Copies of this chain bind each other. A is one copy, B any other.
């Protein structure tokens, strides 16, 4: 079967055997995968990754212990947890210390014809959600995670820094939640996705960013400078949500964080149920985020395209 392989910065397409299905796991045929910035970071060699990447997918179950799953379209939680520890028992399997992570940590990813995941990780996709929307469930859940961590009353003013894929999803999720979102970005055409949903946007130009102006700021820039800007933009006693990983150490001036008593909240994966609900209700538009579709066999070109400025989501199709 076709599978994508990352090693030492190279993206290759290989022919590999179909994976075995352990007990409790489902064997899933890939329908669509989505290339995430994390995949591009793995390509650059961060975290010493080599293997098959891919953690955003929608697929069809071809084999499973539960007969009811077979033939169903599914998305899957990316953290493979032990199921027994205190984190798992508290409903926070995403933080299980024993976990592996689909396409990131010691579990082969979704960018191949067939993948495996524990059945308990799977969510059946309602028929009303198109395939190309369902592939956004994972990043959309990550955007929704903010609302699980921080109480954002309706009407709250929130600045979202960054107009990449995740920044656009976050802006929509917070807008749908009733926040007054102002999104800052550097790309007119990307900000247009948010503007079309009624979200206020502002181009980051030569002018200075507002100082101490927002009770909540989300850093989704993916840049080391983003945290610094966010700390400057947030009000005293305000909350900065860190939504973009940056490789390596970031120089942070902690003095304003302490003097202004700012809270910084790291935020990662979220619950799939919330994301599926938003898509089912049509509360967010993900179709506008698709830049290109390419078959799995063209993964090297797809990765190169996804890394280009101005490009949003590149999808890999399973056929």
Residues of A within 8 A of B (CB): 87, 92, 95, 97, 145, 149, 212, 227, 236-237, 242-255, 257-268
Tell me the number of copies of this protein: 2
| Docked-complex contact A242 and B266, CB < 8 angstroms | no
* Least distance between A206 CB and chain B CB atoms (Å): 24
- Pick from B236, B259, B266: contact of A254, CB below 8 A: B266
- Chain B residues near A251 (CB, 8 Å)? 249-252
Nearest residue, chain B, Cβ from A258 = B266
Distance A92 CA – B261 CA, assembled complex (angstroms): 11
Nearest residue, chain B, Cβ from A251 = B249
Nearest residue, chain B, Cβ from A104 = B259
| Docked-complex contact B258 and A268, CB < 8 angstroms | yes
Q: With A97-B236, A246-B254, A247-B255 given, can you name 5 additional A-B contacts, CB distance below 8 Å?
A: A92-B237, A227-B254, A250-B252, A261-B268, A263-B264
Distance A145 CA – B87 CA, assembled complex (angstroms): 30
Q: List 15 A-B contacts (CB under 8 A).
A: A92-B236, A95-B237, A95-B261, A97-B236, A145-B261, A243-B258, A246-B254, A250-B253, A257-B264, A258-B268, A261-B268, A262-B266, A263-B263, A263-B266, A264-B264
| Docked-complex contact A267 and B258, CB < 8 angstroms | yes
Nearest residue, chain B, Cβ from A148 = B261
Distance A259 CA – B244 CA, assembled complex (angstroms): 10
Contacts A236-B92, A263-B266, A264-B263; A248 near B258 (Cβ below 8 A): no
